[in-house]
Amino acid sequence: MSSSNAGNRPEEVQLATSAHVKYIQSLDTRKDEYDYWLTEHLRLNGLYWGLTALHLLGHPEALPRAETIDFVLSCQHESGGFGAAPGHDAHMLSTVSAVQILAMLDAFDELEKRGRGSLGGRAQIGHYIANLQNRQTGTFAGDEWGEEDTRFLYGAFNALSLLGLLDLVDVDKAVKHIVACANFDGGYGVSPGAESHSGQIFTCVAALAIAGRKDLVDADRLGRWLSERQVPGGGLNGRPEKKEDVCYSWWVLSSLEMIGRTHWIDRDQLIGFILRCQDTEKGGISDRPGDMVDVWHTLFGITGLSLLEYPGLQPVDEVYCMPKSAVERVLSRYKK
């Protein structure tokens, strides 16, 4: 699909960029609403989702930089890990979001000055993450309570590589664990023997990409399984016999991008599905047309459109789910 074709779409199915920017800006002004407090456990993740969407929409300045950095650092524990909000327990997922936010804002210098813990800065975060690895199996836990999942393995690789500290963990053992999660259909599950799922496929393939081991992926077999996730309405689902959902525009498409098989799906059909899920007046994108919008689906609808080279969007990095420009800026610091 060429950019010119996308740009000629009828007015009613254009991306409502200004409405989406205003929607994301409004999210932290709803403190009198019950849902705001119900989602406190997702606050730092939500900030990452919204900020990334704004960067891809071409409006990185739409959230105040200094206040954003202050909030992120207020969530850090002495261990180096970050909680979802001030006072919340540290967790891998919120720690990864914190690192990604600081990377996008080019704020690692602020982290070095103001980071908590005896080591301070990047090193403290790196050791927090490294201590969550099971050195026998290579897997990672989400927090001190020990639940293990390939999401946490990917998160560890994502954050540590952005910090230039991937050598703190046993990469080879982690890679062996990912290989053990592979299935006969080319996909990957949450653990060895578990059913293939689009979200887990992303975490495994992206972790292998960061480790420089995409050679271990059966690209044709996996590409076939992923391309079969497109349903007649144009959207993508997470596994066979499930409904389409905008978020899989990211999980499926990014994996196809990493293995060079994005052209195996109907791009125009997927673009149309994503655009039908947006609220063009109040902003935001929902899981399916007509449903309530949320910042999670807003981000993954926009990242899907970015991978499809929709006009006006900044390129997204298919491995890190951040703007390519930010990833290249950060990783270039560690090249010898």
- Tell me the backbone φ, ψ of residue 82, rounded to 5 degrees: -120, 140
Single-letter code of the amino acid located at 206:
A
Determine the topology of domain 13-334 in CATH: Glycosyltransferase (1.50.10)
DSSP string, 48-106: HHHHHHHHHTT-GGGS-HHHHHHHHHHTB-TTS-BBSSTTSPB-HHHHHHHHHHHHHTT
pLDDT of residue 290: 94
* pLDDT score of 2 more than 50: no
236 pairs with which residues across the strands? 230
* pLDDT score of 251 more than 70: yes
18-46 mean pLDDT = 78
**Helix H or strand E segment including 286:** strand 285-286
Q: Which residue has the higher pLDDT, 38 or 11?
A: 38
Cβ–Cβ < 8 Å for 236, 265: yes
**Helix H or strand E segment including 269:** helix 267-276
Please compute, for residue 148, the number of CA atoms within 13 A of its CA located in the half-sphere on the CB side: 16
pLDDT tens readout for residues 54-83: 999 999 999 999 999 999 999 999 999 999
pLDDT of residue 173: 98
Q: For all residues of the chain together, what is the average pLDDT? A: 93
Residues 6+ apart with CB under 8 A from 117: 76, 77, 78, 79, 80, 124, 128
* pLDDT score of 34 more than 60: no
Other Cβ atoms less than 10 A from the Cβ of 332: the count is 8
What three-state secondary structure class fits 230?
strand
Please state, for a pLDDT cut of 90, what percent of the chain lies above it.
87
* pLDDT score of 135 more than 80: yes
CA quadruple 299, 305, 311, 315: dihedral positive or negative? positive
d(CA 49, CA 322): 10
pLDDT tens readout for residues 212-232: 999 999 999 999 999 999 999
Cβ–Cβ < 8 Å for 51, 63: yes
pLDDT of residue 99: 98
Domain boundaries, the chain: 13-334
pLDDT of residue 257: 98
Among the listed residues 319, 46, 302, the one whose alpha carbon sits nearest the alpha carbon of residue 159: 319
Helices (H), 92-247: 92-104, 108-114, 121-130, 150-163, 171-180, 198-211, 219-227
